[in-house]
Chains A and B, each alone.
Chain A
Amino acid sequence: MGLAYRYTFQRRLPYLLLAPSVIVLLALISYPLAFALRNSFWFWNLQMGPAPLYYSGLDNYRMVFQVTPFAVALKNTLLLGFLGTFAQFWFGMGIALLLHTHLRGMGLMRAALIMPTTLAPVVAGFLFRYLLEPKGGLLPWLLAGIGFPVPPQGFLGNANTALFSIGLVDTWQWTPFFAIVLYAGLLSINEEIKEAAQVDGATQWRMFWSITLPLLRPIAAFLVMIRFMQLFNSFDLVFVLTSGGPGTASRTLSFNLYREGLVNYNIGTTAAMTWIVVIIVSVIINLYLFFIYRKREW
């Protein structure tokens, strides 16, 4: 084996190793995207026939805005994403700080705390659908007992609380994730920096804001991105808890896609909606990456 050959092989090896996964993934995602792009310009409704019937120009895109509750679903999806991520981050941060006191038993509690995150989202959905049942559910009973105003239609049936309740269930499920990861982040902060600051007479509060939080920034930025997108994609919880109701109060983009695609079987309109969502997601991710990572790389 000549040295030159060996060198070339060495240079190419990483790409040969990357190739299988990249090719498989490209194949797996380009089919749906190409499929959706083509069929977004064709009339194809499985209720009307098994194959695309004719070229329909931009009709499908028009149908998305004219027929499906698109605007309200976009609003709900963004609201769920922003509020959910915000609540989970700060709630999780609080718990991480409690764990970080290192009092006796915290290790055990940290291990047990992860349980909600391990559940399948549908299971979490069922769990809370049962707990929130207006007649006979534990939570309305407890809350009414302490004088909390329980909407008469139940939390999932009231237009003002349905989306909020979905966000709450997601927060229940994913706050432990934030807590445990942020706790790991706290552990990695060099204690000497804090001790130095303490010697300088900084208060706990100030130390948290000006030392701890900035040091957690890389982790936090990553967590927030992952969770925001997972919330943006919320389908399982909506499906089990409210089916998007009452009215359109808890419709999300994913649920719209599900209804149009797998209930109405309107493939053309679903395809158009798919591309609209893909574009929205790309814009959000790239904006986020631009603002958060413009100064640093991970």
Chain B
Amino acid sequence: MRRWGRRDKIAIYALMALVMIFFLGPIFWFILLAFRHPSEAYTLPPQLFFEPYLGNFGDTFVDPGNNAPQLLSSVIVSSGATLLSLPFALAAAYALSRFAVRGKEFIMNWYISLLIAPPIVFVIPYFILMSRIGWAGTYQAMIVTLQTLAIPFSVWLLKSFMDEVPLDLEEAAWVDGAGRFAAFIRIIIPLALPGIIVTSMFTFVFSWNNVIFPLALSKQSTTTLPVGTISFFASTGVYWGHIAATAVVAMLPPMIIFLLLGRYVVRGLTFGAVKG
């Protein structure tokens, strides 16, 4: 490994400091906004120190607290989408990881093409479809349609984890007389469990951050928190304090999950294509 001179070190740290300010400064500033009184949203020169004001959170989550149910909706939709995708993804990932499937490349590419297709293309027909089958505005409408993203993503990521479970362990189990299924349950699932948890956490975050499906498919009582922030663009004024308060709450779960995921972040963000 290379040794760095003192001058190099100063330069590198200076650059890195700029990078960190650029990427984290805006988030910090926005979090401060959530604690400012609405009339101080635009005070210039900027005030770093001020009397914290909790009214923005009070208005949005306590009284009248219109955003509190949205928090619950977000949890329901994101967990629902994650749980529903898991059995489908587990089966497919196992097949792709353990068998010589004809057209494997093609299938893998097909999954990825769904992940990068423009979601708005699907949303408008879904809007009509859900109205027709009476699912308009329901949780299941969002949970089911989110599978177009959740299943392909989970298949990719889970496959990368299963690829790492050594084949000989599974073969040893077969020799012991266990069937495919028993081996899958006894060997693969436990060994791939960290991968399954990581995959679920990512699917949860991606569903949580998705706006386009709930925007078109939810109703007031089922809408999710990120969509809720948009409604503050009322015809009477932008409530920056309220936007910031709800947005800060909406950004917390993904941030915490990413911090917990630590070394799996790279793998998750690349659908398992880069191990990290």
Contact = CB atoms under 8 A, between A and B. Distances in A.
Nearest to B152: A25
Nearest to A223: B270
A1 B9 CA distance: 69
Given A131-B29, A137-B42, A233-B117, 6 more contacts: A18-B92, A123-B251, A131-B26, A131-B30, A239-B230, A281-B118
A278 interface: yes
Interface in A258-298: 258, 261-262, 267, 270-271, 274, 277-278, 281, 285, 289, 297-298
Given A28-B144, A274-B124, A285-B113, A20 B105 contact: no
B33 interface: yes
Contacts of A219: 270, 273-274
13 contacts: A14-B98, A17-B95, A25-B114, A25-B151, A101-B4, A113-B24, A126-B30, A130-B240, A131-B30, A219-B270, A226-B116, A233-B117, A257-B120
B250 interface: yes
B128 A116 contact: no
Contacts of B4: 101, 103
Contacts of B266: 180-181, 184
Given A127-B26, A138-B46, A285-B113, A24 B88 contact: yes
B98 to A, nearest CB: 8
Interface of B: 1-2, 4, 9, 12-13, 15-16, 19-20, 22-24, 26-27, 29-30, 33, 41-46, 87-89, 91-92, 94-96, 98-99, 101, 105, 107, 109, 111, 113-129, 144-145, 147-148, 151-152, 155, 180, 205, 208-212, 216, 226-227, 229-230, 240, 243-244, 247, 250-251, 254-255, 257-259, 262, 265-266, 269-271, 273-276
Contacts of B259: 111
A212 B214 CA distance: 43
A102 B12 CA distance: 11
Task: Assign chain A's interface to a size class.
Answer: 35 or more
A141 B23 contact: no
A116 B212 contact: no
A25 B148 contact: yes
A176 interface: yes
A213 interface: no
Contacts, number: 248
A154 to B, nearest CB: 13
B93 to A, nearest CB: 9
A36 B101 CA distance: 32
Contacts of B12: 98, 101, 103
Contacts of A289: 109
Contacts of B127: 261-262
A59 interface: no
Contacts of B148: 25, 28-29
B120 A235 contact: yes
